[in-house]
Amino acid sequence: MQNFDYQTPTRLIFGKDVVEKLPEVMKPFGKKILLTYGGGSIKKIGLYDKVKDLLKDFEIYELSGIQPNPKYDPSVLDGVKMCKEHDVDVILSVGGGSVLDCSKAIAAGAKYDGDPWDLITEKVKAQSALPIVDIITLAATGSEYDCGGVISRTDTNDKIGYMDPLLFPAVSFLDPTYTFTVSKKQTAAGCADAMNHIMEQYFCEDSTLLNDGFMEAALKSLMVNARKCLDNPEDYNARAEMMLDCTYGCNGIYSLGNSGSSWPCHGMEHALSAYYDITHGIGLAIITPRWMRHILNEKTVGRFVKYGVNVFGIDANKDPMAIANEAIDATYKFFESIDIPMHLRDVGIDESRIDEMAKHVADNEGLEEAWAPLTQEDIAAIFRASL
Amino acid sequence: MQNFDYQTPTRLIFGKDVVEKLPEVMKPFGKKILLTYGGGSIKKIGLYDKVKDLLKDFEIYELSGIQPNPKYDPSVLDGVKMCKEHDVDVILSVGGGSVLDCSKAIAAGAKYDGDPWDLITEKVKAQSALPIVDIITLAATGSEYDCGGVISRTDTNDKIGYMDPLLFPAVSFLDPTYTFTVSKKQTAAGCADAMNHIMEQYFCEDSTLLNDGFMEAALKSLMVNARKCLDNPEDYNARAEMMLDCTYGCNGIYSLGNSGSSWPCHGMEHALSAYYDITHGIGLAIITPRWMRHILNEKTVGRFVKYGVNVFGIDANKDPMAIANEAIDATYKFFESIDIPMHLRDVGIDESRIDEMAKHVADNEGLEEAWAPLTQEDIAAIFRASL
């Protein structure tokens, strides 16, 4: 077991109507709020009006139009500018993980004199950041309970993940009813995203009985509850369980003491969504089973056997390679069964830029150091197998 | 799923030799430290000298002799007096859960003008508390990652659990090597304590797939790793896994959104150790299977079936009552197999005060509101079955 240093200080306020507590939660942070949100779905579900009404005694500045795969330019830059101009006290992010990831980059940038890109690329270590409160409206990224984010830069095709303990949300509100209107496509993509967060940590050299059991439980819960959400989008318990399942995905609790991982599927998917702006969870679902098949060998088979037996209930007495292949098939079939398009061509990606993307990944993601090391050729092969 | 409001802000620094970071961790809290510890085992393992050497630039006051089932008088009262007299900045608790529980009561009492018993009984809500850092030397209570404690008062036979979010340790150091010298008896008692923390939460009206899976994984990990620790006390990985298994026991993560529990075995055991000063984990191990058998009925059997199938691998196709009884037998046999004395008479408790204790529990622990309600007669029956 490896040494670790771990803390997740975020307060989770979870359940129906908990957002009523917003004024008392916001008050200690100050009067001036930057309210960040996306394309208007929070207006459709009445949450925008609700928040504005609850916060009528505060001074609110709004940054809207934050896109999925949130953009450095204009979103992060605009937000930083607004915070500095109006001397904002706290950021309130209302939306999914993209809005929150963008808000984290703004929170750090607002307290930095230079180009915020320095912080995202971790060239410069942030010294402080604005506090962040969020109301999460999508069960997927787990950004509400971690200190990381992913920002895209269209001029360079970069999609960069960054982490800083300063960027844990102070408080995250999670009301499952806000996810009732999430489309089937986004519900499935959220499930795939959260499952992949867990798989990225599960497939490693050394884990513990506790971590493995936690992750196996979370994977099983996600599969059961996502299906229930798809069958009945207003099933409160299923939406609630799925929301909580997603929350722990990226805060490190699943790999405390483990040997670590390089999150290879995320490394590869970031290229796909940077070059083609596809939905992150869909990209992950397409890549994951192909990555699994590509790295399956005598050295890695043991983890796949554990995964197959404990997550999918495959008979432990079968041949290890047979169990592993059955587990990979089951992974693929599950994603297919929740109507995720399982080929890159289904989401508009063809052969043409595969080698360019593979080079970009190989140059930037350090996947030669992964548990199952990936060269540029491996990455290109996984992309091709995903076509 | 129930609403919840959850936060565990404690920083965990885990692994071999992490205590070297002690000076830099203590520095922000101030110069004046109250060092709390127990009966001297930290001297035997060299930890006392190590800590004193690392903190030679600090001003250290010492409160030693804190006993298992830590006492209000003299330990809490003495500690509070010392903090006030010397204007202490921070408490450093070095030892097991008893030392830490006592330190939490001192931390709150040091900032309160009245009788600290008001805070422990929650008659008065603490307004502030001294910060606490701990070095934990026993895998058992999980006090290092929660905001609660248990304090005993010999003059009234009270043993009272209290909680306050102000009392989360700021930082907990966990070095598994400090548990190498923990006796077989205390290792087994620690395992039983942690297992019971989980069972108290597992047996409830409503849980989630995630919580159940987490708890089942933790129970299985505790059983496997405790046995390894007993077989080879210096098995680093087993000691480390057991230490982490214990850490989550009481911080609420296992029952987020669950319908809650009244911790009935703790309520009953607190009377045993208040009247007879027995080891808490031993008392819990003795009571737990008798409590299970006593509350097993058509209404509760479902949870026992889940427990039996998922924790002990009992065939799910058997009759539910048969599965439940087999699971209860397996619980008993596991505790017996790690050499825990499984009868109250083995730890010096006889029939004589059972009715008095049962009345004390019934009057003070609110167990008529438990998932499986317990009257004074039920409690006495469980005690008698445990003789």
pLDDT at A124: 96
Cross-chain residue pair A217–B220, CB shorter than 8 Å: no
Is A39 a residue whose pLDDT tops 90? no
pLDDT at A348: 97
Q: Give CA–CA dist B89/A293, Å, rounded.
A: 57
Residues comprising chain A, all counted:
387
Contact by Cβ (8 Å): A10, A172: yes
All structural domains of chain A, each given as residue ranges with its CATH number in brackets, are 11-178 (3.40.50.1970), 183-385 (1.20.1090.10)
Q: Give CA–CA dist B179/B176, Å, rounded.
A: 5
pLDDT at A137: 97
Amino acid sitting at position A102: C
CA B387 to the chain's CA centroid: 23
Q: Give CA–CA dist A167/A110, Å, rounded.
A: 12
If one counts every other C-beta atom within 10 angstroms of the C-beta of residue A190, the result is: 28
B244 near A CB under 8 A: yes
Q: Give CA–CA dist B283/B279, Å, rounded.
A: 6
Read off the pLDDT of residues B12-66 as tens digits, 9 standing for 90 and up: 999 999 999 999 999 999 999 999 999 889 999 999 999 999 999 999 999 999 9
Cross-chain residue pair B5–A16, CB shorter than 8 Å: no
pLDDT at B39: 87
Q: Give CA–CA dist B252/A133, Å, rounded.
A: 22
Is A335 a residue whose pLDDT tops 90? yes
> By percentage, how much of chain A surpasses pLDDT 90?
95
CA A138 to the chain's CA centroid: 11
- Output B103 or A157, whichever has higher pLDDT: B103
A193 near B CB under 8 A: no
Cross-chain residue pair B1–A241, CB shorter than 8 Å: yes
Choose from B178, B239, B244, B256 for mutation: most chain A CBs within 10 A.
B244
pLDDT at B158: 87
B35 phi/psi in degrees, rounded to 5? -90, 120
Question: Residue A369 gets which letter from DSSP?
Answer: G
B6 phi/psi in degrees, rounded to 5? -135, 140
CA distance B245 to chain A (A): 7
Q: Give CA–CA dist A197/A248, Å, rounded.
A: 9
A256 near B CB under 8 A: yes
Is A229 a residue whose pLDDT tops 90? yes
Q: Is A252 helix (H, G, I), strand (E, B) or coil?
A: coil
Q: What is the maximum alpha-carbon separation in chain A?
A: 66
Specify whether the backbone of B122 is left (phi greater than 0), alpha (psi in -120 to 50) or beta: left
Q: Which residue from A minimizes the CA distance to B4?
A: A14
User: DSSP assignment of B220-281, as one string?
Assistant: HHHHHHHHHHHH-TT-HHHHHHHHHHHHTTTSSGGGTTS-----HHHHHHHHHHHHH---HH
Is B154 a residue whose pLDDT tops 90? no
Q: What is the mean pLDDT of residues A3-16?
A: 98
Choose from B2, B7, B19, B251 for mutation: most chain A CBs within 10 A.
B7
pLDDT at B260: 82
Question: What are the structure tokens assigned to A179, written together?
Answer: 């996810």
Q: What is the mean pLDDT of residues A317-345?
A: 98
Question: What are the structure tokens assigned to B115, written together?
Answer: 């009788």
Amino acid sitting at position A182: V
Choose from A6, A7, A174 for mutation: most chain B CBs within 10 A.
A7
Cross-chain residue pair B3–A9, CB shorter than 8 Å: no
Read off the pLDDT of residues A91-106 as tens digits, 9 standing for 90 and up: 999 999 999 999 999 9
**HSE (side-chain half, CA atoms, 13 Å) at B154:** 11
A6 phi/psi in degrees, rounded to 5? -135, 140
Q: Give CA–CA dist B200/B190, Å, rounded.
A: 15
A322 near B CB under 8 A: no
Q: What is the mean pLDDT of residues B345-372?
A: 96
Q: Is B116 helix (H, G, I), strand (E, B) or coil?
A: coil
B153 phi/psi in degrees, rounded to 5? -130, 110
Q: Is B316 helix (H, G, I), strand (E, B) or coil?
A: coil
Question: What are the structure tokens assigned to B269, written together?
Answer: 């055991």
> By percentage, how much of chain B surpasses pLDDT 70?
100
Q: Give CA–CA dist B207/B215, Å, rounded.
A: 11
* Distance (Å) of CA B91 to CA A193, A327, B99, B118: 43, 51, 11, 21
Is B261 a residue whose pLDDT tops 90? no
Pairing between β-strand A59-63 and β-strand A32-36 as defined by DSSP bridges: parallel
Enumerate the residues of chain B whose CB falls inside 8 A of the CB of residue A225. Answer: 209
Is A158 a residue whose pLDDT tops 90? no
Specify whether the backbone of A142 is left (phi greater than 0), alpha (psi in -120 to 50) or beta: left
Picking from B5, B217, B221, the nearest residue to A13 by CB comes out as B5
A213 near B CB under 8 A: yes
**Peptide bond before B74: cis, by omega within 30 degrees of 0?**
yes
Enumerate the residues of chain B whose CB falls inside 8 A of the CB of residue A2. Answer: 15
Enumerate the residues of chain A whose CB falls inside 8 A of the CB of residue B225. Answer: 209
Q: Give CA–CA dist B30/B263, Å, rounded.
A: 38
Q: Give CA–CA dist A187/A197, Å, rounded.
A: 15
pLDDT at A18: 98
Cross-chain residue pair A3–B15, CB shorter than 8 Å: yes
The predicted complex's ipTM stands at: 0.95
pLDDT at A260: 82
pLDDT at B317: 98
Beta-bridge partners for B171: B11, B133
Q: What is the mean pLDDT of residues B115-143?
A: 96
User: DSSP assignment of A140-170, as one string?
Assistant: SS-GGGSSEEEEEETTTTEEEEEE-GGGS-S
Of B323, B307, B303, nearest to B315 by C-alpha is: B323
Contact by Cβ (8 Å): A357, A272: yes
pLDDT at A261: 84
CA distance A253 to chain B (A): 11
Cross-chain residue pair B10–A15, CB shorter than 8 Å: no
Read off the pLDDT of residues A273-289 as tens digits, 9 standing for 90 and up: 999 999 999 999 999 99
Cross-chain residue pair A220–B241, CB shorter than 8 Å: no
Is A161 a residue whose pLDDT tops 90? no
Q: Give CA–CA dist A31/A89, Å, rounded.
A: 7
User: DSSP assignment of B5-55, as one string?
Assistant: EEEEEEEEEESTTGGGGHHHHHGGG-SEEEEE--SSHHHHTTHHHHHHHHT
Question: What are the structure tokens assigned to A149, written together?
Answer: 């984010």
Cross-chain residue pair B213–A218, CB shorter than 8 Å: yes
Enumerate the residues of chain A whose CB falls inside 8 A of the CB of residue B251. Answer: none
Contact by Cβ (8 Å): A129, A87: no
Is B233 a residue whose pLDDT tops 90? yes
Q: Which residue from B minimizes the CA distance to A1?
A: B237
E strand or H helix that includes residue B212: helix B209-231
CA distance B166 to chain A (A): 13
Read off the pLDDT of residues A348-370 as tens digits, 9 standing for 90 and up: 999 999 999 999 999 999 999 99
Is A111 a residue whose pLDDT tops 90? yes
Which residue in the block uniquely carries the two structure tokens 């089973």?
Answer: A289
Cross-chain residue pair B217–A217, CB shorter than 8 Å: yes
* Distance (Å) of CA A28 to CA A23, A25, B344: 9, 7, 52
CA angle, B61 then B63 then B66, to 5°: 165
Pairing between β-strand B171-174 and β-strand A171-174 as defined by DSSP bridges: unpaired
Q: Give CA–CA dist B248/B263, Å, rounded.
A: 16
Contact by Cβ (8 Å): A361, A267: yes
Read off the pLDDT of residues A164-214 as tens digits, 9 standing for 90 and up: 999 999 999 999 999 999 999 999 999 999 999 999 999 999 999 999 999
**Peptide bond before A74: cis, by omega within 30 degrees of 0?**
yes
Of A295, A263, A287, nearest to A349 by C-alpha is: A287
A165 near B CB under 8 A: no
Residue B305: which residues within 8 A CB-CB, separation 6 or more?
Answer: B316, B320, B323, B324, B327
Enumerate the residues of chain B whose CB falls inside 8 A of the CB of residue A254. Answer: none
CA distance B237 to chain A (A): 6
Q: Which residue from B minimizes the CA distance to A170?
A: B7
**If 0-12 CB within 10 Å is exposed, 13-18 middle and 19+ buried, where does residue A381 land?**
middle
Q: What share of chain B is helix, strand, coil (3-state, %, to 5)?
A: 55, 15, 30
CA distance B336 to chain A (A): 23
**A&B contacts, CB < 8 Å:** 126
Picking from A1, A12, A220, the nearest residue to B213 by CB comes out as A220
Of A29, A18, A267, nearest to A160 by C-alpha is: A267
Cross-chain residue pair A209–B8, CB shorter than 8 Å: no
Question: What are the structure tokens assigned to A274, written together?
Answer: 């940077």
